[in-house]
Amino acid sequence: MTHTAVDVIRAKRDGHRLTDAQIDWVVDAYTNGVVADEQMSALAMAIFLNGMDTAETARWTRAMVDSGDRLTLDVGRPTVDKHSTGGVGDKITLPLAPLVAACGAAVPQLSGRGLGHTGGTLDKLESIPGWRAQLSVDEVASQLRSVGAVICAATTGLAPADKKLYALRDVTATVESIPLIASSIMSKKIAEGAEALVLDVKVGSGAFMKSLDQARALATALVSIGVDHGLRVSALLTDMSVPLGRAVGNAVEVAESVEVLQGNGPADIIDLTVALAEEMLSRVGISASPRDVLASGEAYETWARMIRAQGGDPEAPLPTGRHKHIVTAPSDGYLTTLDAYAVGVAAWRLGAGRARKEDPVQPGAGILCLAKPGDHLTKGQPLLELQTDTPDAIPAALESLSSGYEIGDRPPTTPLIIDTIRG
Ligand code: URA
């Protein structure tokens, strides 16, 4: 049967299911330039408004995977990956990948750069002198065999349909659609070729999904697509109303990750890293105690080998912002709120993030949260330390932070890990 873009758009506009053949055709034709951007924009908006059911979303994902290469990772160990939907201070990939490798699995972690208020794993690692994000597929496989963990940029051949469509959704107000987000994330992860995947679906002010219902719906959609593709997949729903850990930025987050790998660091980072590692290992049938391996220093050894394998010097001093500014507590009491979104925007304004894809980031810019919700403060006590090379940015960062924290009579009680969904 011959398809046309207009027929496919009309079908979805009028609230019908798309057939498998329509989906396969339109994704392929868009990737190859037969369907134009304006036609795909209209279809994305029709999907945004009328949705796609579980089977349509699974087929859409399959078509996006089939638009490019699919890696086969035969590296002599079970392969397992993790994906976070993104948050503020979310540096968990950094300690997690070497930890899971030290426990016996292989972790191919193809990552991205930051855009807006959430940071990017590659930007963080690039603050390590000499470290290189671009690896060939052969280098990825060889490092997985020798070290067990790789964190690097995704190769361009993976899910090219998603690359094109994501850029289009970004400029047509069609990003926030659960079937489109779920198929976008999963097409890249399935193309990466790991046997198992653990998703960290964030919920709260600093996350994509602001409400628990939305986050649960996204987690369910992601897990269901994974199952449809034969992947062992779990999703943890975790809190992102407060920044993770105490450091938000690039070099500061690497430094905090190294602390955790050396057996110290904030409890929330350790707890989430261990919980995700336990889930990843159980999905590939490895019984190990990640908490003990973290405390033993073996995960740090794997980290150092992973950084060296990519040209970095794990012992080199990390950059810090040349200018510092301290925000102090305005009164006595418990810190009840430290809003993830406000801190993320402030760090971004200090230079840690970028507004456009091609902008550089400042490795040394960021924020140290000197207190976290639940801590008792006295008036004048240091609460936040801002770091930047561009002091002119400090007033705009302070403006973002001005309504980002509250002091009250009682400590808050927000669980970090809210639920787990397994496929
Ligand atoms: N991350 C992705 O990779 N895709 C989306 O659509 C949203 C977040």
Going from the Cα of 215 to the center of ligand 1, the distance in angstroms, rounded, reads 13
What is the CB-side half-sphere exposure of residue 16 using CA atoms within 13 A?
Answer: 11
Candidate list 82, 124, 188, 246, residue with the active-site label? 188
Going from the Cα of 182 to the center of ligand 1, the distance in angstroms, rounded, reads 7
- Identical fold for domains 5-51 and 80-316, yes or no, is no
Candidate list 111, 184, 241, 257, residue with the active-site label? 184
Closest atom of ligand 1 to 112 CA is: 3
Which CATH architecture is the domain 80-316 placed in? 3-Layer(aba) Sandwich (3.40)
Query: In one letter, which amino acid is 100?
Result: V
Candidate list 83, 91, 117, 283, residue with the active-site label? 83
Which residues form ligand 1's pocket by a CB distance below 6 Å?
A: 166, 175, 180-181, 184-185
Determine the pLDDT at residue 115: 66
Annotated active-site residue 83? The verdict is yes
Annotated active-site residue 205? The verdict is no
Going from the Cα of 372 to the center of ligand 1, the distance in angstroms, rounded, reads 29
Determine the pLDDT at residue 204: 97
Beta-carbon contacts of residue 38 (< 8 Å; ≥ 6 apart): none
Taking each continuous run of H as one helix and of E as one strand, the counts in the chain are 16, 13
Query: In one letter, which amino acid is 32?
Result: N
Going from the Cα of 170 to the center of ligand 1, the distance in angstroms, rounded, reads 10
Among protein residues, the one whose CA lies closest to atom 6 of ligand 1: 181
The CATH homologous superfamily for domain 5-51 is: Transferase, Pyrimidine Nucleoside Phosphorylase; Chain C (1.20.970.10)
Among the listed residues 100, 105, 111, 417, the one whose alpha carbon sits nearest the alpha carbon of residue 277: 100
From first to last of the 423 residues of the chain, give the pLDDT tens digit.
799 999 999 999 999 999 999 999 999 999 999 999 999 999 999 999 999 999 999 999 999 999 999 998 899 999 999 999 999 999 999 999 999 999 999 999 999 887 677 789 999 999 999 999 999 999 999 999 999 999 999 887 999 999 999 989 988 999 889 999 999 999 999 999 999 999 999 999 999 899 999 999 999 999 999 999 999 999 999 999 999 999 999 999 999 999 999 999 999 999 999 999 999 999 999 999 999 999 999 999 999 999 999 999 999 999 999 999 999 999 999 999 999 999 999 999 999 998 777 788 999 999 999 999 999 999 999 999 999 999 999 999 999 999 999 999 999 988 999 999 999
Sequence ranges of the domains in the chain? 5-51, 80-316, 323-408
Q: Spell 53-76 as b/e; 16+ CB within 10 A means b.
A: eeebbbbbbbbbbbbbbebebebe
Determine the pLDDT at residue 251: 98
| Sign, CA torsion 278/368/319/390 | positive
The CATH homologous superfamily for domain 323-408 is: Pyrimidine nucleoside phosphorylase-like, C-terminal domain (3.90.1170.30)
Beta-carbon contacts of residue 324 (< 8 Å; ≥ 6 apart): 385, 386, 387
Annotated active-site residue 184? The verdict is yes
> Cα–Cα distance between 212 and 29 in angstroms, integer?
36
Annotated active-site residue 403? The verdict is no
Q: Are the C-beta atoms of residues 88 and 347 closer than 8 Å to each other?
A: yes
Annotated active-site residue 169? The verdict is yes
Q: What is the pTM of this model?
A: 0.96
